[in-house]
């Protein structure tokens, strides 16, 4: 079979040969079989895709939405990561009402933007997402500010030329089912977010401790475990974000670096998402780590997503 020519999409992401069109003259690694209904693996350096499966099919993305929540905050002009934000009862009540994953934030505690970004990305805190959206949106009410923030998330997708991505929430809990993307476009969004050094630092941490100021003036320490089980399990894993929802199924955006080469991948609606990711990364690195990988475990009281 002939290798397909590289093509360039209007989004700017380079796509390489389909994994189904391997050259018979080259001993290529076997194309992985994965559980995810939609997936892609790209080279972070140039956007070239090494593998894809239903790359253009729109799917809900659950809490992988928070990649764009974080990117929207981190690209705010004159951002102060040390800016302090006080946790409102509205944020805590929202998580309880929706049954969302939580950073276990306490009403009246004061945390920095940097701390809340870790609370957003590691335990997948919907309360942290609410606090950031309320802070970085514009308007005279919480509803107006969060709507404004979601609008900025959609503007970011538009600026990247993405036509099959839409957000109706700041955390992936979609009230109207209009929170969707494709593997291709989520990879592009993740590549954009990963270009930020603070983002990279946050998402590669298996654990993070935040010392906050409680409402009584005393100190409270939050300890968050990263829900991305690839970290510490797959050699070179450096991120990115989990997500699980009734409509979305289990989702994972992942990244790993070896010998100066970084791959970013997306697996949407995959029952075996972590092994899917390891197989795809092996395909990129031409390795066999997935066969012996043992996923790290989370403490019983840690968030799952």
Give catalytic residue positions: 63, 66, 124
Rg (CA), the chain: 19
- CA distances, 49 to each of 45, 111, 168, 267 (Å): 11, 39, 28, 14
- As a whole number of angstroms, the distance between CA 79 and CA 95 comes to 26
- As a whole number of angstroms, the distance between CA 89 and CA 87 comes to 7
β-sheet bridge partners, residue 84: 112
Burial classification of residue 206, based on how many CB atoms lie within 10 Å of its CB (0-12 exposed, 13-18 middle, 19 or more buried)? middle
Contact in structure between 106 and 214 (CB atoms under 8 Å) = yes
Nearest-10 crossing angle of helices 142-159, 126-136: 90
- As a whole number of angstroms, the distance between CA 44 and CA 281 comes to 12
- Give every CB contact of residue 24 below 8 A, 6+ residues apart in sequence: 1
- As a whole number of angstroms, the distance between CA 131 and CA 59 comes to 26
Question: Per the structure block, which two tokens stand in for 158?
Answer: 């538009």
């Amino acid at each position: 079979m002939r290798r397909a020519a590289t093509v360039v999409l209007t989004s700017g992401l380079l796509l390489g040969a389909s994994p189904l069109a391997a050259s018979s003259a080259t001993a290529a690694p076997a194309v992985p079989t994965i559980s995810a209904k939609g997936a892609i693996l790209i080279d972070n350096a140039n956007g070239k895709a090494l593998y894809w499966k239903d790359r253009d099919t729109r799917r809900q993305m659950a809490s992988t939405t928070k990649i764009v929540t974080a990117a929207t905050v981190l690209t705010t002009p004159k951002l102060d990561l040390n800016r302090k934000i006080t946790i409102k009862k509205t944020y805590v009540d929202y998580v309880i009402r929706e049954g969302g994953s939580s950073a276990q934030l306490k009403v009246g505690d004061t945390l920095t933007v940097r701390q809340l970004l870790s609370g957003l990305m590691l335990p997948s805190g919907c309360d942290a997402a609410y606090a950031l959206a309320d802070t970085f949106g514009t308007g005279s009410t919480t509803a107006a500010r969060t709507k404004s923030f979601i609008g900025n998330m959609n503007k970011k997708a538009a600026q990247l030329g993405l036509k099959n991505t839409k957000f109706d929430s700041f955390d992936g809990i979609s009230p109207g089912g209009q929170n969707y993307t494709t593997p291709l476009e989520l990879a592009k969004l993740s590549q954009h977010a990963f270009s930020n050094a603070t983002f990279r630092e946050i998402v590669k941490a298996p654990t993070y401790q935040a010392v906050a100021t409680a409402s009584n003036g005393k100190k409270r320490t939050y300890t968050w475990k990263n829900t991305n089980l690839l970290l510490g399990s797959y050699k070179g894993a450096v991120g990115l974000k989990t997500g699980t929802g009734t409509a979305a199924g289990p989702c994972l955006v992942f990244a790993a670096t070896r010998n100066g080469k970084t791959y970013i991948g997306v697996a949407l609606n995959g029952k075996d998402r972590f092994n899917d990711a390891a197989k795809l990364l092996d395909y990129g690195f031409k390795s066999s780590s997935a066969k012996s990988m043992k996923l790290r475990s989370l403490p019983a009281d840690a968030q799952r997503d």
